Structure 1
Amino acid sequence: MVDTTFLRGDRLALRSVEPSDLDFLRHHQNDPAMRGSLTRSFPQTIADAESFLDSVTVRENLAFVAIHAGERVGFVALFDVEHVPGRARLGYWVVPEHQGEGYATEMVDLVVEYAFDELRLHKVTADTLAANEASQRVLEKLGFDREGVLREHEYIDGSFVDSHLYAILRSDA
């Protein structure tokens, strides 16, 4: 098999999302244990996954699958990349059986470094549910600042919940 690694860390390789990853993405994004934190209210179909793959471009959306020892362990992406103002939104998740092993921190670190060093972006933002303390720790460990609270911003399991907005500037990294 050809190695298609785009970014490499100490333990992880990040490669672009491929058609062979669609079942992996769909399975985990539909997983009841994960979809709440991903703010997914509707099931993702294979057509939805294919549409997402079509939206991944070098200019606006860059998505990666994280690989450890030949196994897919997570997903990380820069969405809504705006090259003129130099900003993008960050999204990421790690499969449940590998959460707490530091993969999210390594994935985010690799992608933020890429955003600043190679894409020459100025700012990367991320939002996380107020109850998702693990995700908040990842962002804070990497130098993101909490810029605000989006009150009752998401609707999860029958309730409106707050979301925390984080950001990091190139000068902070």
Structure 2
Amino acid sequence: MNKFDQALARIEQINWNNSYRNKPSYSILVHEFIRRGNIFRDIYDKENTGRLAVFSAAHIINASISEDVQRLIKDKNLIKYGWTMAALCEYYLEWSYLIDRKNEIAIEYNDLYEPIIKLFERGGRISYHQNELICGKAGWSRNCYSVPRKVFIEEISDEILDNIDLECK
């Protein structure tokens, strides 16, 4: 199975009705997603210091996505889950498509969207409210440029995230 099909299957398997208000691992996953995005954009989008957390890496590198793939993504009607989550799932699918097409940048940053998709799989949800990205009780400034690039968490496996959630109960 190629990366795009795996990504599509992951999104289709998310139980969007199964959401939890707040787990300690959620803020770690959002922070890690923003951190990875900033590292990517430090190289490919240097001029943009007013960075939003919800971004299309494919758009930043000016990659073209097949019309058939765009139509397939739109046909999934992801918008019913909220525009922020729908957009991130769409961008994840675009990135997976580029990995399958052997795009060197996409291959180098193949796990760019992993933390945010893992958040959705674990029942976490995000939204924007009053110029902040909100997840549970945590919020990040709409301008995510200032999120540190240093490693926040080495591994985002379910086992490690589950242990973090248990330790903080």
Name whichever structure is richer in strand by fraction: 1
Larger helix fraction of residues: 2
Larger RCO: 1 or 2 (CA < 8 Å, sep 6+) = 2
The answer to whether TM tops 0.5 is no
Q: TM class, shorter-chain normalised?
A: under 0.3
> What TM-score, normalized by structure 1, do the two folds share?
0.26
User: Scaled by the length of structure 2, what TM-score is found?
Assistant: 0.27
